[in-house]
Structure 1
């Protein structure tokens, strides 16, 4: 302003006339904002339409042939001047892949990182995802390796591989009493980047935001992934020509592939075309049935075929009624997915069993809360009394005796535990769990290891996060249980040995470097853990992740150390989205 005041005449007037008064004008001028496309999203079936005047008022999508959705797409809103305008009820925001890739490769230093070739020899030690089999075995249409080896340049053509994540979060926070909504987010990360910078916020591709308030159902998820797949199909087959990048001012060609699908079980199954983990065909990697989930002879498991999967998915798509599709997917465990349009994508190998959710938030958590009785819903203490949880629930509605209390059994016996569970006294239940929890709380630990809660599973104590369950399962529980049970005989000693196998398997799976010997050690420990479960807790209903976790060594051999591809970074992105201040409009 001071500079402009010293200029006379028309230049001064032009300066003030052209000076931006809105910060959005400045952002547009400097091109800081990413390129995004807003699409009209059907509030019923999630089908997408262009945001234009030609878009119909109602959804014309046919979920099955001959059955039109018909849901309204727009609402009328009156402006300040009294004019009625139509606005979409819901919008899906998509960031086109070619535009993001162009901006990504225009940043200084990025191409130096992502254009690094793989080593010629297959490494025996896997330090990152490029050392393992999956990316090294990825072949292009000509039958040659997709990613370059040392000495290969592909005439300056960039070859890039991405991981995909999809997840839902509550934009209003995770408070139990708060309003429950589901906002979807899709991310991709470039696996060519070194792991030290792969998951930095500035390197993450935010594919799109799926609108609230509810999640799409299984087949509806295909609508929101379709815009991305529309760009990824030609990105593999013909490539994307960029007019300019940082290292190539005259432009360069690129080819890109989406390989691992990294997500929790519900999101992964929705996206990949597999049925949920609670179905009869519960495993996406082998054909084992849910009724036989405790079959531990893993050499007898029949591997699923990607070719057969595609045949069944095409057959599902050809069905002319919803009932026919339901019958087929129930029998086969397969339905159509947009990802199958990627001709190189293997739904049996690339739909990962994600270790953060499977091992930490399922296997360790279930053992601690259910078998060790640290959860409010199953307070069976040391694992001895878990068989009586159902009896406790049934006893809540049972009428009390008319007069007098029955004599209480002796403390420390099964009869006493049964009495406590039937009568539901919190004080009695606390006595079952306090020895273990108190010992955990009194442990002296290094300053960099966090202390766990005194009352795990109690509502007002909050939930343990994945890294807290990892610390509990590999540090807190083993140290404390060894101190409490190592000198005991019989069941307690067996329970200790059983849990140590689980802790050892988790520690091996989460090591920073991997090799085939460690993957085999994981299998040995986890099999011993499952065999112990069958003996110690014969009526325990196994969650599906116990079987799925036995497949983790195969994914380690395909994709290397889990820290280079698990879901921890994507959960941080969800947290960042939750913290964005909005007016919820």
Structure 2
């Protein structure tokens, strides 16, 4: 109870004492009672030790400032370090933080203890325990890596198929006497208090590794996940502080990779065997992944993409062929330069210029952060793209009528120096020209010392485009990419642009001189700045000479006011649109001194740094002061009627969606969305909520409302349905190259449509990352093999555990408790003696678990091994009536060779059955929600119906083969004519319309012809029923239906 259900230790002690009294009272023991009672423990910790449930761990003293780790020697303070002496670089000052604190224990005196401790679980011990379990090794070795057209797991992806060991041979399966393993790595922060303890805000960080050799339905279970440790709070380790913890992971990973680890005995090999392992992929949210691999972790970093070298200024470029590729050799070079830099100033120079810090993962010779960093669809698609589309593009307004979400085009902005550039920027451009003119051997690296806008301006003025002198006029790329462009251009002695530069030097370019002449002239009209060849930027050139219009200022003001309840993507979008001058204007209104406390005298700041500091200052002051928020609201009140009709999801549409949700019957495995989502009463929604809203509820209502119309609202719908189709493909349980190509096409069409329909929309990094999901599917197979919900579920498990709420201590408690929990679950499954001795206890626990089956526990229960078992265990024997028996005969005797085969009327009727990892049930049962299905009829057409009966038949074919065949008896829906159905134009993502009521005709269908569940929405007032297939295992069904539709 203590380790399985997290019953508090004192309660468990009381429970054990009660067991002691019951045994004493009933006298149900024989022999020496004193011996028996000695064996009966009084504390659950005794049982944990007796059954070896405790993990093998190493405890470290953790510096509260820099997170440096020192081995902890218990009960010997003099042997432990007292002060942190860590230096980030040889020239850095030592940290100097105190590692110990004094605690008053009353009559026991004052004792010292570490301020923070980090507990790390030993990977070798964890794996050794796993290999001692029956049947595990056979599962670990049963991974297929052959190239197939349809990939159903990570081992069929390009990365694992082509991965080589140190000898250059295929890594998997390896020699017969070796065990070849692969782990995915996840790192994520969470609030250990769940925001429930005195409104404290804290963050601890978990580190997990998933053994990918296990089948998908087993690998994400608690008992099979390796928890490396929980990093102590109250805040997450910043920048490269995480490296101290990753070094422990890499140290063990290197041993497994280079020499392997020999286990003296496993369950299947009594003489032992060698095991090797790799770490790939990295599965984290966007910001977490950046920090782990040593990439910038801020929302406004120019180096924002882990998969390509596109710069944040170029984020609007959605054509993949224009994105510069990353070079793993250059990445490793910059990471090593950062690690070996003698001082922090040089480290910062390298990081700002290249975007890379050192990560211990680079010590693994096979590590490739570009390929191995999986783009997580849960965060990129559900929590970002879908949420952003609904809240920002469509907009939700439950008080005003819906509109068409019209937008005014954003002001044309530039990324280059121009007539409005200040003297410091022009001086920087002149220095840059001098460096280029000198053309030293280190030219490319010297150029990293200049801001990207300087390099961009030079490239634009002299026609420097892409590597190799391409004539493509699109100029995109990070600072390092532009530096390489200039370096190669500088070496081309016959280049016309280079000759022009050498003749003009030290003058600026002709284009730049003309801009400056216009600025210096006394004419009242100033020439417009030259437009960028690529579009947008975070700072407008015209924005520094005048404030935006009052309507725009009002929009910015209300954006600032909403940041308290907004997420990071909303904050970033607002930041990108603001200018330094606008922020100074708000400071003036709010009477905020724009000079920071750490900066007592005004000092000139670079434009980007100034904007960032002003933004942080205004946001911080407003969040801390309600008076300031009221003052800004008073200055920019919301205009009555000014926003009416601007939200596509207005009051009337939202009420229609909520009404349709009530009329929609979903399978029981889908968690319902809050009935009032989008209203101010409802808080934040989960990723699962947003996906269900996008894939199910919005298509049902929006197609009904606008599927027959023309104009902008129809265009909004069609654009959104491109996203829905892309999400359905990205979340399938198997993938093919055709599906990947289809996803890429859909997400590109969606992105292009967004730019056209919402001309003021600035693409977010998460939107850009969704354009790389096709690469992740190709590298690592379908979504389930590199998905992130597993660590989100583990965080939920942490929240159920008891702890002392003391940061620095509770993290170790979470680790040990979770491992004991995992070990006792494994023991209950594997120990046959215990299963026999405590059969009633185990049966009751199993029944409790079935009551809350979700996610991977559900997948485990409905694995392929039990695909034809009765889902509820209830069945009855009986006979088919004459009509149903004749229908069954027509099915089984349809092949010419089976026409004379006898078909019995005796069958076993079931209430529910599992098929393709889903439960199907009869209509008149408690699981009636699982009775609506999509199936293939005898003519090969797809139809929807409702299951009336399920039965199994013992049958013998004409060949003599005896089988048990499952069938369903159903009533179907008659489909409406295609020309009358607005849903069919969107393929399977839109579903199809049927007559309102089921037909009275009975059909019998083999269970193998059942494709998936459907969502059923009855529109009595419109006299039709809508059917929407929703099972993720449709595989290529979307593509088959899409092929019948003409592309727009």
Say yes or no: TM over 0.5: yes
Query: Are residue 503 (structure 1) and residue 529 (structure 2) matched?
Result: no
Q: Deviations over 1:9-53 (max 9, x none)?
A: xxx5x7777865433123212211211222111111111111123
Does the Cα contact within 8 Å between 2:395 and 2:647 map onto a contact in 1? no
Equivalent residue for 2:659? Answer: 442
Query: In the alignment, which residue of structure 1 is the partner of 2:308?
Result: 286
Q: Who is 2:133 aligned against?
A: 107
Pick one of 542, 546, 549 that aligns with 2:763: 542
- The Cα of 1:89 is off from its aligned counterpart by 0.8
Structure 2: how far apart are the matches of 1:426 and 1:494? Answer: 21
Q: Deviations over 1:114-143 (max 9, x none)?
A: 012424x41110011111111111111100
Aligned to 1:340: 362
Residue in 2 aligned with 1:225?
A: 246
Aligned residue number for residue 559 of structure 1: 780
Q: Contact 1:59 / 1:72 at 8 angstroms: preserved in 2?
A: yes
| Matched position secondary structure for 2:727 | helix
2:259 and 2:650 map into 1 onto residues whose CA distance is: 62
Cα distance change, pair 509–16 in 1 and its aligned pair in 2 (3 A): closer
Q: 1:236 to 1:532 in 2, by over 3 A?
A: same
How much does 1:60 deviate?
Answer: 1.1
Is 2:746 aligned against 1:493? no
What's the offset of the Cα at 1:570?
1.5
Moved more, 517-526 or 63-72: 63-72
Aligned residue for 1:30?
51
Of 147, 155, 167 in structure 2, the residue corresponding to residue 142 of structure 1 is 167
CA separation in 2, counterparts of 1:32 and 1:176? Answer: 30
Q: Where does residue 381 of structure 2 map in the other structure? A: 359
Matches within 5 A, 1:193-232: 193-232=214-253
Give distance in 2, aligned partners of 1:430 and 1:176.
Answer: 38
Pick the aligned partner of 2:318 from 296, 303, 306.
296
Q: Does 1:261 align with 2:287?
A: no
Residue among 797, 801, 820 paired with 1:580? 801
Deviations 1:183-215 (A, max 9, x none): 111111111111011111111111101112110
Segment of structure 1 superposing worse, 276-285 or 518-527: 276-285
Quick check: 1:96–1:228 contact (8 Å CA) kept in 2?
A: no
Q: Is 1:517 aligned with 2:753?
A: no
Corresponding residue number in structure 2 for 1:173: 194
- In the alignment, the residues of structure 2 paired with residue 30 and residue 232 of structure 1 have an alpha-carbon distance, to the nearest angstrom, of 29
TM-score by length of 2: 0.50
CA contact (8 A) 1:373 1:381 kept: no
1: CA distance, partners of 2:63 / 2:137: 39
Aligned to 1:124: 149
User: Which residue of the other structure, out of 530, 551, 554, is the alignment partner of 1:391?
Assistant: 554
Between 1:174-183 and 1:354-363, the stretch displaced more is 174-183
| Residue number in structure 2 paired with 1:249 | 270
Distance 1:251 1:379, change over 3 A: farther
Distance across 2 between alignment mates of 1:578 and 1:206:
15
Shift of 1:482: 1.4
Contact 2:397–2:650 (CA<8 Å) still a contact in 1?
no
Find the counterpart in structure 1 of residue 903 from structure 2: none
After the TM superposition, which residues 319-338 of structure 1 pair with which residues of structure 2 at under 5 Å, given as runs? Answer: 319-338=341-360
Provide the C-alpha distance between the structure 2 equivalents of 1:386 and 1:27, rounded to a whole number of angstroms.
66
Query: Aligned partners of 1:492, 1:540: CA distance in 2, in Å?
Result: 17
TM-score (norm 1): 0.88
- Report the CA distance shift for 1:380/1:35 in structure 2 as closer, same or farther (over 3 A): farther
Rate the CA distance shift 1:445–1:234 in 2: closer, same or farther, 3 A. Answer: same
Match of 2:87 among 48, 62, 80: 62
Offset of residue 475 of structure 1: 1.4
Would the aligned equivalents of 1:355 and 1:562 in 2 still touch at CA under 8 Å? Answer: yes
Give the CA deviation at 1:491. 1.6
Once the two structures are superposed, residues 201-246 of structure 1 have per-residue CA deviations (whole angstroms, 9 ceiling, x without a partner) of 1111111011121100020011122111111111100011112211
Distance in 2 (CA, whole Å) between partners of 1:292 and 1:326 is: 23
Per-residue Cα deviation, 1:49-68 (whole angstroms, up to 9, x for no partner): 11123221111111232321
CA contact (8 A) 2:405 2:645 kept: no
Secondary structure of 1:62 counterpart: coil
The CA distance in 2 between the partners of 1:466 and 1:370, in whole Å, is 17
Aligned residue for 2:205, secondary structure, equals: strand
**Corresponding residue SS for 1:219:** helix
SS in 1 for 2:380: helix
Cα distance in 1 for partners of 2:258, 2:647 equals 62
Matched residue SS, 1:526: helix
Matched, 1:274 2:437: no
Q: Indicate conservation of the 8 Å contact 2:48/2:54, yes or no.
A: yes
- Residue 465 (structure 1) aligned with residue 686 (structure 2): yes
Q: Distance in 1 between matches of 2:397 and 2:209?
A: 35
How far does residue 330 in structure 1 lie from its aligned partner after superposition?
A: 1.7
Larger Rg: 2
- Alpha-carbon shift at residue 84 of structure 1 (Å): 3.2
- Report the Cα distance in structure 2 between the residues aligned to 1:574 and 1:218, rounded to whole angstroms: 23
For the residue of structure 2 that corresponds to 1:63, the secondary structure is: coil
- Alpha-carbon spacing, 1:126–1:174, altered in 2? closer, same or farther (3 Å): farther
Over 3 Å counting, the alpha-carbon distance change for 1:426 and 1:67 in structure 2 is same
Q: Mean alpha-carbon deviation: is it higher for 23-32 or for 550-559? A: 23-32
Which range moves more in the overlay, 138-147 or 270-279?
270-279
- 1:77-101 deviation digits (Å, cap 9, x = unpaired): 2345434322111111110111111
Separation (CA, whole Å) in 2 of partners of 1:379 and 1:98: 62
Where does the alignment leave 5 or more consecutive residues of structure 2 unmatched? 1-23, 410-550, 562-585, 590-635, 807-1048
Contact 1:370 1:386 in 2 (8 A): no
Which residues of structure 1 form unaligned runs of 5+?
Answer: 400-418
> Kindly tell me: are residues 579 and 380 of structure 1, through their superposed partners in 2, closer, same or farther at Cα, counting changes over 3 Å?
farther
- Relative to structure 1, the CA distance from residue 531 to residue 340 in structure 2 (aligned partners, 3 Å threshold; closer, same or farther) is same
**2:789 is the alignment partner of 1:568:** yes
466-475 or 362-371, which deviates more: 466-475
1:235 matched residue in structure 2? 256
Q: Is the 8 A contact 1:373 1:382 kept in 2?
A: no
Counterpart residue number, 1:413: none
Could you say if the C-alpha distance between residues 425 and 578 of structure 1 is closer, same or farther in structure 2, counting changes exceeding 3 Å? farther
The alpha-carbon deviation at position 274 of structure 1 amounts to: 1.3
Alpha-carbon distance in 2 for matches of 1:7, 1:47: 55
Which of 118, 121, 141 is equivalent to 1:95? 121
Q: Which moved more, 1:433-442 or 1:520-529?
A: 433-442
Structure 1 position 370, deviation (Å): 0.7
* CA contact 1:171–1:182 (8 Å) conserved in 2: yes
Q: Find the aligned partners of 1:336 and 1:182 in 2 and give their Cα distance.
A: 24
Q: Does the 8 A contact of 1:60 with 1:70 survive in 2?
A: yes
Give the equivalent residue in structure 2 for 1:406. none
CA contact (8 A) 1:371 1:386 kept: no
- CA shift, 1:146, in A, is 1.0
Q: Cα deviation per residue 1:285-320 (whole Å; 9 max; x = unaligned)?
A: 111111111112211222211121110100111223
Q: Deviations over 1:360-408 (max 9, x none)?
A: 10000000011111289x9996522698675245478999xxxxxxxxx
Relative distance call for 1:456 and 1:447 in structure 2 (3 A) is closer
Residues 1:526 and 2:747 aligned together = yes
